[in-house]
Amino acid sequence: MKRHVPAILLVALLVCFSLVAPKLQGLLPGFSPLPAVFFCVAAYMGLRWIWLPAVAWFLSYLLSHQGQGISWDFHIVIIIAGFGLTAWVGMALRGKGWVTILGGSAGSALLFYLATNTGSWIILPEYPKTWSGFLQSQTTGLPGYLPAWAFLRGSLVASLVFTGLFILGQNQWGTSRAKLTHGAAPSSGRP
């Protein structure tokens, strides 16, 4: 049980943040730790552990949207695909240095944004199905809502902040990838 405490704590913290985050959306829309956590778990722990952020997202989605009349529709598939893209980028960068990881985190935030906004352009009838409508979905968004680029800004900030915190945590506690993924003791540094 003791070895599962960090995983349980991670899920609990993500669920709590997701409940508080809607109140912060006016300050920095799109600011969420979840894409960064999908990225970092894939980059540092591997796909075997991707269930952690998936459970956290599912629980937080249920709790934060309870009673709001939001249905389970195709938009959910688009969000899951966005998380899948961030995990794929994380897997592609396994074993790389922290600068590359931070750059990959920013890149995965951009991919998440492009995927989810493209999905919105496809499924929302308010967007014209033209090049102009596509550009609108990526920049200004729909009239009456915050501009779409504001969500990109929040997503980039969140990805860099939470990935940076993840990297600092890895460095602070000196947990090697081998210990995280296989339960092995950290290497002594000798061959």
pTM greater than 0.75: no
Torsion of CA 93, 54, 31, 131, to 10 degrees: 80
Domain covering 2-182: architecture: Orthogonal Bundle (1.10)
pLDDT, position 2: 47
Stretches in the chain below the pLDDT threshold 70: 1-15, 18-26, 63-72, 172-191
Render pLDDT for 53-71 as a digit per residue (tens, 0 to 9). Answer: 888 778 777 766 665 555 6
Q: How far is CA 186 from the centre of its chain?
A: 28
pLDDT, position 122: 93
Among the residues of the chain, which ranges form H helices?
Answer: 5-24, 34-40, 51-65, 74-92, 98-123, 131-138, 148-173, 177-182
What the block records as the tokens of 172 is 């602070």
